[in-house]
Amino acid sequence: MTLTATPPTTAQAQPPTPRGAGVGLPSVASASAVLLGALALSPVFVSGAWFGAVVLTVVAVVGAGALVTWLRAPVFLVPVVQALALFAALVSRFTLDAPMGFVPTSDALDQLRVVLSQGIHDIDTYSPPIPATDGATAVTALGLGCVAIVVFVLQVSLRMPVLAGLSLVAIYVVPSFVLDDGAPWWSFAFVAIAVMI
């Protein structure tokens, strides 16, 4: 009786998963959804001058989140880094004397606080549509930057896209409450499209 040895089976080597896999597209989708949803605020302002600052803050927040996620930082650090990026973006846009133009030092944050206080005053003073003053723009950019953090963490870090989409509905609430006739139908359409991204 002859025994034949069977060659040992080797597991097929899987190609390594790229480090950034699964971060890029959801990050772009998060930024796109927030920016598209932000267009629902258009009827609140006289002009579109506020939108550039919003683009800056949303891109900074999502970019920072994508980077630390790609570097595999712990999930709890992602919103912390994003908050720093948000304030750095606001400092670069609304203050004059920040080191390197964007470092949120205590002096730069004091200047930003003054701008935000003026923005709250402007929002309280004017009835919609309001002028896109630096203060009102800063308040809007801060709010939408915070929305971007929530959307990114839910969609990219925690993989909960449905909750991320629902959080965009909060943007629609603003024009619905502050405009005399409520928000126009097309502003809801922007939010609805953003939720589907």
DSSP 8-33: PP-PPPPPPPPTTTTTHHHHHHHHHH
Model pLDDT, residue 148 = 96
Q: Which residues pair with 130 in a beta bridge?
A: 45
Q: Which pLDDT does position 9 carry in this prediction?
A: 53
Q: pTM of the prediction?
A: 0.84
Give the helix/strand (H/E) hosting 48.
Answer: none
Q: Tell me the average pLDDT across 179-196.
A: 74
pLDDT of 68 above 70: yes
Question: Locate tokens 């609140």: which residue?
Answer: 44
Give the pLDDT confidence score for residue 18 in this predicted structure: 47
DSSP code per residue over 53-99: HHHHHHHHHHHHHHHHHHTT--TTHHHHHHHHHHHHHHHHHH-S--G
Find the distance separating the first CA and the last CA of the chain, reported in whole Å.
67
Query: Does position 85 have pLDDT exceeding 70, yes or no?
Result: yes
Quick check: 128 and 179 in contact, CB under 8 A? Answer: yes
User: Which pLDDT band holds residue 122 (cuts at 50, 70, 90)?
Assistant: very high
Find the mean pLDDT for residues 19-36. Answer: 84
